[in-house]
Structure 1
Amino acid sequence: MPTTKALLIPDCFTYMIKQHNFQTAGTYESYINHRIIPALGHTVLSSLTPILLQNYVNELHDEGLAGSTITKIYNIMKSSLDYAVNMELLPSNPIKTIQLPSVKKKKDNVWEVAEMKTFLNTAKQDRFYLAFHLTIMTGMWRGEILGLRWRDVDLEKGVLYVRQTLSKDGKQFLTGAKTNSGIRGITLPEETLSALQSQKVSIAKEKLKCGPVYLDNDLVVCTTKGTPVNPNNLKRTFLRLVKEAGVAAIRFHDLRHSHVTMLLAKGVHAKVISERLGHSNIKTTLDIYSHVLPSMQEEAANQIDAFAKSN
């Protein structure tokens, strides 16, 4: 890397994104190209000041960007400028002293158990039924489900293993999971095992029907020709089925949140939920779902009260 301090901000990002996997690097490049470079791309590194960066972040907030998006942009810039400091291109990181705008955390939209059942009943005959079923029953990410292979499913033991994901654009399989802790085993309920067995039979019939033109990727959820399902197609099907089922409109990702809320309501320990979701530690799970816990506390108090009155 050049040692001149006249480098522009984009030069710094080039080296930073190379350190990440395909999917993460693609996300970073999108934020860099569409958010950071248009505003700061012509700024020389040595000209960066805390006030300049503070004003930039404040403008993102005033523009109405979500708090999570602003935080991602901040983290990208911080990591890049940390790298510049390590390479002695800057004496210190000017972004470390700025304050991120205070943003209220939005409450996740989730389905009650009855809504999950209604939706699954409506989706029963749809080709992508198993994808929706797995999300609700396991809390897996969309990319994990679309990258799931039969070799990673043990029907006898009732466990599936997350070892491959499909990229967000649906064009590439990525070895591993979204994070290192995301590589995990998930124990499955009997209903899910039954759904998987039915899916296996259906795919075997499709292979036979297509013959040599079938592209066998060993996928659990795939097209009629064995190719990966485009994530956007799955999303469109989900939105259509939500309307047909007459349930509350939520995002596909909210199925994951609904899974967690259901487990918490059933009294499942947060450590177990953390492992199923592939979180690095239980703190991550508690931080994300802290808004659910007050209602759990109230229910616990009601149960204790009922116990006390029964004696």
Structure 2
Amino acid sequence: MTGLRFGEACALQWVDLDFETGVLDISKSLYYKSLENYKFVEPKTKASVRQIVLDEDTLHELSVWKNIQQKVVKTDFILSYNGTPSNKHAIPRAIEKYSKLADVHRIKIHALRHSHASLLISLGENPLIIKDRLGHEDIETTLGTYGHLYPNSNYEVATKLKGLVKKSNAISSEAMAVKSNYPIKLNIETLENNAIKMQ
């Protein structure tokens, strides 16, 4: 539940994660050519350098994984089972394996990032927050990529606006009535006093 790019996820190290605060620092990506040939590289854009906060469920799973990992191999990489960072072949194979076990359609790695964005949109999250979480340079990229997931936005806005004008008019009418009561009362009292004098 991070929405990270594949290279960003592979570059993650345990020092990048603060279990106390849930904050994950994303400051690098990984160039992987072979077991012996890999290196950290600059992330895709300046906006890619960011911090995101992980949910409690994800933090729990990572904590469990860290305990398992430390019993098998000593490594600084979060996504590692043999001491080296994961590569572009290992994770797709794992996804394919567990997709078959779960009897679901296999998805591509980048689709996980899209799924994260889709979930945030379905939760009604602010597009600017989604932009920052995904590490997009500008809001146009976010809306251009995921704008089709907002098909009912106009209807939702219309629903929220429903009744607001009536409520506003009701409040205005009530305020006017309160304001007008005083002069009306004075006018009636004046008429009554004049009538008494004329008798």
Q: TM-score range by the shorter chain?
A: 0.7 to 0.9
Structure 2 unaligned residues grouped into runs of 5+: 168-199
- Is 1:174 equivalent to 2:40 in the alignment? yes
- SS, match of residue 231 in structure 1: coil
- Is 1:290 equivalent to 2:156 in the alignment? no
- Is 1:183 equivalent to 2:26 in the alignment? no
2:2 corresponds, among 128, 138, 148, to 138
- Is 1:204 equivalent to 2:61 in the alignment? no
Q: Give me the TM-score of the superposition, normalised by structure 1.
A: 0.48
Q: Is the 8 A contact 1:163 1:175 kept in 2?
A: no
- Is 1:277 equivalent to 2:134 in the alignment? yes
- Is 1:163 equivalent to 2:163 in the alignment? no
Q: How many residues align?
A: 162
2:100 corresponds, among 231, 240, 243, to 243
The amino acid across from 1:156 in the alignment is E
Deviations 1:35-66 (Å, cap 9, x if unpaired)?
A: xxxxxxxxxxxxxxxxxxxxxxxxxxxxxxxx
Q: Distance in 1 between matches of 2:68 and 2:159?
A: 46
The amino acid across from 1:220 in the alignment is I
Q: Is the 8 A contact 2:31 2:41 kept in 1?
A: no
Q: Which residue of 2 aligns with 1:219?
A: 77
Q: Which residue of 1 aligns with 2:174?
A: none
Deviations 1:264-303 (Å, cap 9, x if unpaired)?
A: 11110000000010101112111111111214444x1585
Q: From the superposition, tell whether residues 205 and 249 of structure 1 become closer, same or farther in structure 2 (CA, over 3 Å).
A: closer
After superposition, where does 1:1-311 map in structure 2 within 5 Å? 137-167=1-31, 169=33, 171-207=37-73, 216=75, 218-223=76-81, 225-298=82-155, 300=156, 303-304=159-160
Higher-Rg member (1/2) = 2
Deviation larger for 162-171 or 232-241: 162-171
Structure 1 unaligned residues grouped into runs of 5+: 1-136, 208-213
Q: Distance in 2 between matches of 1:198 and 1:220?
A: 12
Q: Which residue of 2 aligns with 1:46?
A: none
Offset at residue 205 of structure 1 (A): 1.3
- SS, match of residue 151 in structure 2: helix
Q: Distance in 1 between matches of 2:111 and 2:159?
A: 28
The amino acid across from 2:69 in the alignment is I
Deviations 1:154-213 (Å, cap 9, x if unpaired)?
A: 111111011222225454222432222111101110111111211221122123xxxxxx
Q: From the superposition, tell whether residues 255 and 295 of structure 1 become closer, same or farther in structure 2 (CA, over 3 Å).
A: farther
Percent of aligned positions that are identical: 34
Deviating runs (4+, > 6 A) in structure 1?
none
Q: Is the 8 A contact 1:169 1:231 kept in 2?
A: no
The amino acid across from 1:184 in the alignment is R
Q: Is the 8 A contact 1:153 1:161 kept in 2?
A: yes
Q: Is the 8 A contact 2:32 2:39 kept in 1?
A: no
Which structure exhibits the higher relative contact order, with contacts defined as CA atoms closer than 8 Å and separated by 6 or more residues?
Answer: 2
The amino acid across from 1:222 in the alignment is S
Q: Distance in 2 between matches of 1:301 and 1:291?
A: 16
RMSD: 2.2
- SS, match of residue 256 in structure 1: helix
Q: Is the 8 A contact 2:11 2:29 kept in 1?
A: yes
The amino acid across from 1:150 in the alignment is W
Q: Distance in 2 between matches of 1:151 and 1:176?
A: 18
- SS, match of residue 258 in structure 1: helix
Q: Give me the TM-score of the superposition, normalised by structure 2.
A: 0.73
